[in-house]
Structure 1
Amino acid sequence: MRIGLLGTGPWAKVAHAPALNEHEELDFTGVWGRRPEAARELAGAYGVRAYDDLDALLADVDAVAVALPPQVQGELAARAARAGCHLLLDKPLALTVEQGREVVAAAERSQVASVVFFTTRFQPEAEAWITEQERAGGWFTARAEWLGAVFSADDNPFAASPWRQEKGALWDVGPHALSVLLPVLGDVRQVSAAAHGPGDTVHLVLDHTGGASSTLTLSLTAPPAAAGTHVELRGTTGVTSLPEARQPAVPSLVRAADALVTAARTGRPHACDAAFALRVTEILEEAQELLSGAR
């Protein structure tokens, strides 16, 4: 599968480009970026072509990996799907439900596969744990804490990201938490409550179709010593927690690319496809509306 990379920022450099380059079933074909000089630099590091014309890249590949801000990703992912390209996307899918729907509709019309890189879902230990808890069922409550120090630690490469500064933890780490909880507890019937905490911290209470409720605490401004991730489930089988992630981003992204290749080959949608990411976006938008009213 010939694949092109859209984006030249920190995440493209440290995760996407290395993963595409080392994947045995992908032919890393070229790079396009909003800054042509950055595209040339990144493409040169991997001996691939830098494209100034996005449409030319889309015509040369079977798939694209997108490492761009979500408001840009939504528009270009729909454009790539209309050109017949399979989609390896990042979270969040988009910053509005409307734009997310455009991506899903374009992918469905063109019958292209899509996989959205919810990092935790492509880590082996976490994937096995989620599958096991989904089968177990009987969950009563869940607690998810996704506490980052993007804005409180020194020299974090993502702290200068305008969309993270505007949207904060809800839209950055919220998708990760939801990607773990939804397959285990079921869809969200309602965002029952939402409240602001210190910095960009938000607290959510969710009502799930499986009968359980969950609480989420999300932050990018946690003190570095307090940063970390914890997910705990309590139910008829007892108490269990999400295992600590051991796999770095690049191998996890390689696994996401594996999933895209399989979905494209078989025609069977992956659990983390654009439609699932759209549902996550809908929940985030509902939470954002509650938070806006809470100020």
Structure 2
Amino acid sequence: MSTIAPVAVGLVGAGPWARAMHARMLAAGPETRLAAVWARRPQAAAELAAAYGTVAAASVEELFDRCEAVAFAVPPAVQAPLAVRAARAGKALLLEKPLGADLAAARSVADAVAATGVVSQLVLTKRYHPSTREFLARAAGAEILGARSCYLHGAFLGGEAATGWRLEQGALLDLGPHLLDLLDAAVGPIATVRATGDSRQWIELTCEHRDGAVSQASLSGRVRLPKPRTRVELLGPAEELVWDSGDIDHEECWTVLRAEFAAAVRSGRSGPIDAARGLYVQELVEQARG
């Protein structure tokens, strides 16, 4: 049995995503413990904290005092300035994508992480599933001429995910980071991104990779489907390589994410899916936005 103490993580946010994933994942341990919750709505913070036997902090400063790492489950415009403050307070960061509401805000987070040297990790959910890692390992040895991909769902049609920033910015800022990250990792570094369509309805991305390959991504949060559809197809002279999220159990993602974040905090070294990666992906999003 490990004698390493669990990482004390404070949670910023008490909305649907904080309830569905962050609080439950961090409280489950054993690598982490939920040390406190803070939200702009004190009642929501108190209810979430009580559900997991922890405390609701009266301020962000109190949250920082109670933890060694901070997880964020808030809109990007809220995350960026608070993440900068947390980094300057010496706290490790578990960050959502996108890092900020715009590129300047995202850069402020990455710069604060670089300046302070704190550990950072990005919640690009599907990257933590074993099947995704197996797919990327196979892609590393393949000759790829082109790729097709999609991330489609109907969450923006209504419900808890149909929040202000998602409806205003659309699929590019919300779903785009996932596919751009996967295409960049699977096919190779992306040199240019062009977009057509309306991010609030349906948007198509065309990526030209540095090695000459071309990939495309279809994004929409306003299509009625039985369940979300995320798929990447890699094509070349050999047999195609396909990754599909249809059979992914996200609970397996959370287990890996939690363990790797705790290991990074204890070692003092961030993994590859960090704030710098988040900034790089957001630079691609900004390029697509034109």
TM-score (norm 2): 0.93
Q: Is the 8 A contact 2:39 2:45 kept in 1?
A: yes
Percent sequence identity over matched residues? 35
Match of 1:184 in 2: 186
- Which piece of structure 1 moves more, 180-189 or 67-76? 180-189
Match of 2:156 in 1: 151
> How far apart in 2 are the matches of 1:171 and 1:201?
13
Deviation of 1:71 after TM superposition, in Å, equals 1.2
Asked if 1:69 corresponds to 2:75, the answer is yes
Displacement over 4 Å in runs of 4+: none
Deviation readout 1:163-221 (Å, 9 max, x if unpaired)? 00111111111111112111122222111x31115952101111112321111110001
Deviation readout 1:89-147 (Å, 9 max, x if unpaired)? 1111112111111111111222111110111101111122112212x132110111111
Q: Is the 8 A contact 1:120 1:127 kept in 2?
A: no
**Runs of 5+ in structure 1 lacking a partner?**
290-295
Matches within 5 A, 1:114-133: 114-133=120-139
> How far apart in 2 are the matches of 1:261 and 1:195?
40
Deviation of 1:226 after TM superposition, in Å, equals 8.3
Q: Is the 8 A contact 1:59 1:83 kept in 2?
A: no
> How far apart in 2 are the matches of 1:37 and 1:202?
38
Match of 2:230 in 1: 229
Change (3 A) 1:24 1:282: same
Residue in structure 1 matching 2:144, options 120, 133, 139: 139
Q: Is the 8 A contact 1:123 1:245 kept in 2?
A: no
Q: Is the 8 A contact 1:122 1:255 kept in 2?
A: yes
Q: 1:112 aligns to what SS in structure 2?
A: coil
Residue in structure 2 matching 1:173, options 175, 178, 202: 175
Match of 1:252 in 2: 253
Number of matched pairs: 284
TM-score (norm 1): 0.91
Change (3 A) 1:115 1:98: same
- Counterpart residue type for residue 96 of structure 1: D
Q: Is the 8 A contact 2:11 2:71 kept in 1?
A: yes
Residue in structure 1 matching 2:53, options 47, 52, 55: 47
